[in-house]
C-alpha cells in the first residue's frame, strides 16, 4: 500500500519536524512519509534539518505574492507536484485561508502548546502561550494536536497530553517541558493515525 505523502510546513527551528523525522526513522510512522518541507522563510533552521535528512524542501514567502490567494495557489501547485495528501503545521507562522484549508478537509493537522480550549486562538503562539498559562496560575498545561479549519486552533481535537506546571517554572522552562513530554510524543502518534486513515481511504 502506498504511504501517505506528507508535507511539513515550518517557519523556524523545526524541533517538531525533527521529532517527526526521528519517529519515522524509528518506525513509529509507517503509514506516511515526510516527502516535503515547506518553509515560510529561507532562514528557517528546519530547512537544514530537511537537507540533513534528504528531504526535499521549498521556500514560499507570503510577501513575494500580491495576495493571499496567489500565495496559496503557489503552495497548492507545489503540493500537487509532489503528490502531497497530508499537511502538518509545525510552528508555521503564516495564516491559511478558509479557501485553502477547505481543499484539505481532515488532512491538515497542527500542534498547539496548550490544552485547547485553554490559551489558544489568535495571538496565542510560541512563548505567549506559556506566559499566559503561568500568569493565569493553572497547575496543568500540555499540548493538543488538532485538525485545521478556518478558525485558529478551532478544528476537531485528535490527541491531547497533560504536563504538570512546577514551582518556579519560567515560560522558557515550561516550553521545553511541554515540547519534550507532550509535543514530541503526540505529534508522531497523531500523524500516524491520520496518515493511516488517509492511506486506507486512498
Count Cα neighbours of 78 within 13 Å in the Cβ-side half-sphere. 21
Point out the catalytic residue in the list 112, 128, 130, 146.
Answer: 112
128 among known catalytic residues: no
Neighbouring residues of 121: CB distance < 8 A, sequence distance ≥ 6: 151, 152, 153, 154
Angstrom distance (rounded) from CA 1 to CA 104: 21
Task: Give phi and psi for 156, each to the nearest 5.
Answer: -60, 135
Neighbouring residues of 112: CB distance < 8 A, sequence distance ≥ 6: 120, 124, 129, 143, 144, 145, 146, 153
Angstrom distance (rounded) from CA 199 to CA 202: 5
Task: Provide the annotated active-site residues.
Answer: 112
Amino acid at each position: 500500500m502506498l504511504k501517505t505523502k506528507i508535507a511539513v510546513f515550518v517557519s523556524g527551528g523545526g524541533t517538531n519536524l525533527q521529532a517527526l523525522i526521528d519517529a519515522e526513522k524509528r518506525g513509529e510512522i509507517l503509514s506516511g512519509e515526510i516527502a516535503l518541507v515547506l518553509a515560510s522563510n529561507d532562514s528557517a533552521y528546519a530547512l537544514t534539518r530537511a537537507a540533513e535528512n534528504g528531504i526535499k524542501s521549498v521556500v514560499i514567502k507570503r510577501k513575494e505574492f500580491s495576495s493571499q490567494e496567489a500565495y496559496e495557489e503557489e503552495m497548492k501547485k507545489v503540493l500537487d507536484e509532489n503528490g502531497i495528501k497530508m499537511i502538518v503545521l509545525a510552528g508555521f507562522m503564516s495564516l491559511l485561508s478558509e479557501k485553502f484549508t477547505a481543499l484539505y478537509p481532515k488532512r491538515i493537522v497542527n500542534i498547539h502548546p496548550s490544552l485547547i480550549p485553554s490559551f489558544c486562538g489568535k495571538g496565542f503562539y510560541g512563548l505567549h502561550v506559556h506566559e499566559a498559562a503561568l500568569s493565569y496560575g493553572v497547575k496543568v498545561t500540555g499540548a493538543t494536536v488538532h485538525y485545521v479549519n478556518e478558525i485558529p486552533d478551532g478544528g476537531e481535537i485528535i490527541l491531547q497530553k497533560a504536563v504538570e506546571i512546577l514551582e518556579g517554572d519560567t515560560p522558557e522552562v515550561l516550553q521545553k517541558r511541554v515540547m519534550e513530554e507532550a509535543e514530541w510524543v503526540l505529534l508522531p502518534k497523531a500523524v500516524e493515525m491520520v496518515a493511516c486513515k488517509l492511506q486506507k481511504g486512498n
